[in-house]
Structure formats: C-alpha cells, structure tokens
Amino acid sequence: MIIFIISLFGVITFLLYWLFMSPYSKVFGAFPYKKVNETKKVIALTFDDGPNEPYTSEIVDYLDSRNIKATFFQVGKAVKQEPKLTKRMYDTGHVIGNHSQSHSFLKYFTQPSFRTELQESQAEFKQVLGKEPALFRPPWLFRTPLLLRSAKNMGLFPVSGLFCNNLEVFHVSPEKIAKTAVTRARPGGILIFHDGYNGKGAARKETVESVKHTVSALTADGYTFVTVDQLFGIKPYK
C-alpha cells in the first residue's frame, strides 16, 4: 500500500510538472523552446533573473567581445536597481525580455491572471528603454491558461527554452554546465542560463565561465548565435 501511494504521488507530481512547467508541454498553448523544422545551425542564448552585477556585465562584455547578441529576460524589480545596465545592454544590441516584476511564485496564486505582474514590469521597462518588450518568459517556466491569455492580450510572445543544466543555479562546475548545454543544443534551439537568482543578487561566477565554454564549443561545431526575435522573425519590442 505504501509503495502504491508513493508511486501514485510520483506520477501525479510528474503530470503536474509536465502540465505547468515542462518546456515541452503545449497543453495550455504555444510555448516554444525551439524553432520548428530549423535546419541551420543557429541557436539563441538567453539569460534569466537579472540584471545582477557584476555577473551580468561580465557575460555581456564577453558576448560583445565575440560579437554575439543574446536575449536577457529580466525582472522588473532588478531592472529598477540597475537601469543604466539594462539601457546599456539594449543600446549595444542585446534584447531585453520580460521575466515578471517580482519573480515570486506566490504571485501565481494571488494573481491567477498574472496581469498586474506583467503590467508593472512592462511599465518598468518602458521607463528605462522607452519601449516595452514583446518577449515574455514566466518564472520557472510556470504557466496557466489565464497567464497565457494575459500575455496574449498584452501582445506578449511567450518563450520557453531548455535549461543549460538543471543544477546550474546550485553552483556546479562551469565544465558540467557547459557539457550539458552543448548536449542540449539543437538547430533553432533556445538555451536558458541564469545571470541572477529570482531577481535577487547571487553569485553566478560558474555561469559566467560556463557561457565561455559553451560559446567556444558551439562555435567550433559550426553554430552561430541569434536573439529570440531573430530566431522567430518577430519584433522584439512594442
């Protein structure tokens, strides 16, 4: 009986994860982790939870040195703390996407539609950039029909992706992060790194180094890098 209960709990947990958080699930609507039927070796590097200094600047400086532009899904409250950095990233050609205002899981329950989180963060971005992002990635990739409906009504394009390494935020070695990222790379794919942690300050030196390893390996394998809007042929801002 105990084994049955444990097994049932495991199945239910997996199903809930698949429905609400898996990058592969499209039960509630489109949520792309790659461009379908892409054959060219192009890939989008994306970064969540920032800006977070000095790590975001270190990543940006490295990418700029390689003439690579990436997509940064930023948290509104973090942007408020580092507006000049976000503006500099925008001015140098990196794309800024919306990653909510507070990155609080509680908001999924207190704001089922997530609309206020989206409105507040869009306002924050507009104040800094003079325009609003058209790309949106929900924290933890968690989505519901109500959230996706709010995003659609606000003209936002929801974006998923594959995590570079499921344990990245726990400071595993750069080599391990990069090895998994390269393994998960596919033509037209989207890789997710974290330059912050839930919109708060956090040490991300392993991520900085893993990006260098990943870029070098993928470049050697013939990949070129694009931003998410370029990958899907859409406008990055509204």
The enclosing H or E element of 5 equals: helix 2-20
Across 10-43, b (16+ Cβ under 10 Å) vs e yields eeeeeeeeeebebbebeebeebbbbbeeeeeebb
The span from the CA of 140 to the CA of 202, in Å, is 17
Q: Which of 94, 194, 195, 229 is catalytic?
A: 194
Q: Which of 48, 49, 195, 229 is catalytic?
A: 48
Assess contact for 208 and 45: CB atoms under 8 A. no
Assess contact for 48 and 80: CB atoms under 8 A. no
80, with CB counted inside 10 A (0-12, 13-18, 19+), is: middle
Distance of CA 231 to the CA centre of its chain: 15
Residue type, 58: E
Q: Tell me, yes or no, if 48 is annotated catalytic.
A: yes
Q: Tell me, yes or no, if 61 is annotated catalytic.
A: no
List C-alpha distances in Å: 50 to 2, 65, 81, 111, 166: 43, 20, 10, 22, 18
Radius of gyration of the chain (CA): 17
User: What dihedral angle (degrees, nearest 10) is formed by the CA atoms of 75, 81, 87, 93?
Assistant: -40
Residues annotated as part of the active site:
48, 194
